[in-house]
Structure 1
Amino acid sequence: MERTAVNPWDWSIKLGYNQAEVIEGATRQVICAGQTAVDENGAPQHPGEMRAQISLALDNLEAVLNGAGMNLGNVVKLGVYATDVDEALKNLDLMGMRFGPHRVAPPMTLLGATRLAVSGLLFEIEATAMA
């Protein structure tokens, strides 16, 4: 699979994502459901702690991808939902820390939500991955 970044402006690169990517040669695609800060039994973790919830949601996303034989380097699109966008933005350095070693900056959309499906959750991330 070959990825070519499309960035008519550089401001999004500074935030850790590309405006678009051209994907060529992919043969498998995985669509991941939204991952949140829950344990292996689905119980919410880290109430009120945005940074800890982002970290656990990313752990859970990695676990799903690993189960499909992929990793964060295969992610080509992210959808992020947060109950407090400003607080999420303060902690999005975690995204760079996790995706950076894979040398990818997938296109991303961040949306504010009044609440997520399970009370107490603050952050949810969904992904499309290709190999």
Structure 2
Amino acid sequence: MEKRIVNPWQWQDERGYVQAVEVKQVQGTLYCAGQAAVDVNGQSSTEDMRVQLIQAIQNLEQVITEAGYECKNIVRLNVYTTSSAELFRCFDVFQDWVAKYGMKQASTLLEVKGLFETLKVELEATVVK
């Protein structure tokens, strides 16, 4: 697989994403459903945004790993949240996760009126190999 990052500007580097990712010679593409803070029994978390973000990341990592892919190859990551303000207060969790895997993904952050039950954040990824 060959990836090319397109960043006409520098400002997005501090925010943990890139403007575009071109991928060539892909062996496979994994489209992940939105992952949120739901435990192994299907119970939605009632915890705060930070705890829910950590659980959503862990769940996404598990799906990606069990499918035989790697988080470093996430090329698209959409973030849905019920409160951008709350999410930005714990955005270090997201940025540390991106840095941990050296991700270079195109991202969109959307504030939505609501998510399932008590959920506050959901991550939807596209991964290649």
Shorter-chain TM-score range: over 0.9
Percentage identity across paired residues of the two chains: 36
1:51 aligns with 2:29: no
1:41 maps to what in 2? Answer: 41
Q: What per-residue deviation string (whole Å, max 9, x for no partner) do you get for residues 4-28 of structure 1? A: 2111111111111000011122110
**Which amino acid letter does the alignment assign opposite residue 15 of structure 2?**
L
The equivalent residue for 1:109 is: 108
Please give the root-mean-square deviation of Cα atoms over the aligned residues, in Å: 1.1
Shift of 1:48: 4.5
**Mapped contact 1:33–1:127 kept (Cα < 8 A):** yes
List runs of 5+ in structure 2 lacking aligned partners. none
Structure 1: distance between partners of 2:103 and 2:35: 19
Displacement of 1:99 after TM fit?
Answer: 2.1
Match of 1:93 in 2: 92
**Which AA in structure 2 matches 1:4?**
R
Moved over 4 A (4+): none
- Rounded to whole Å, the distance in 2 between the matches of 1:96 and 1:2 is 24
Return the TM-score normalized by structure 1: 0.93
Secondary structure at the aligned position of 1:38 is classed as coil
Q: TM-score, normalised by structure 2?
A: 0.94
Q: Secondary structure at the match of 2:117?
A: coil
Which residue in the other structure is 1:66 paired with?
65
